[in-house]
Amino acid sequence: MQRTDPQSLSELLQDFFEQRKLRGALIEGRAVEVWAEVVGEYVASFTEDVYIRDGILYLSFSSAAVRSEIHIRKRFFVAKINEAIGAKAVKNIVIR
């Protein structure tokens, strides 16, 4: 069945990704992208690796001090990342 009402490109893309269950992966990918924006350029410069799997953001750092600070403020950063992407994609942060 075809739709007769006009749709915007963003609506068409959203439908496309939802039908293929890709929307969650795109949102998670956005969480990785905003990491540097959320923590700032200085902290981001010490970030060696960032990836997300199943709602858990995995991070590694070249500085023990930065690693410790992020660990202490994990809940804060989870909230800020989710706020930045407009979805609750990040449930936890694991520091390696």
Residue 24 pLDDT: 63
In this model, does residue 2 exceed pLDDT 70? no
CB burial of 75-84 (b: ≥16 within 10 Å; e: otherwise) equals eebbebbbeb
Domains of the chain: 9-95 (3.30.300)
Position 70 confidence tier, pLDDT thresholds 50, 70, 90: very high
Q: Which two tokens stand for residue 3?
A: 């739709």
In this model, does residue 4 exceed pLDDT 90? no
Position 64 confidence tier, pLDDT thresholds 50, 70, 90: very high
Q: What pLDDT, in 10s, does the model give residues 23-39?
A: 566 677 788 889 999 99
User: Cβ distance 56 to 94 under 8 Å?
Assistant: yes
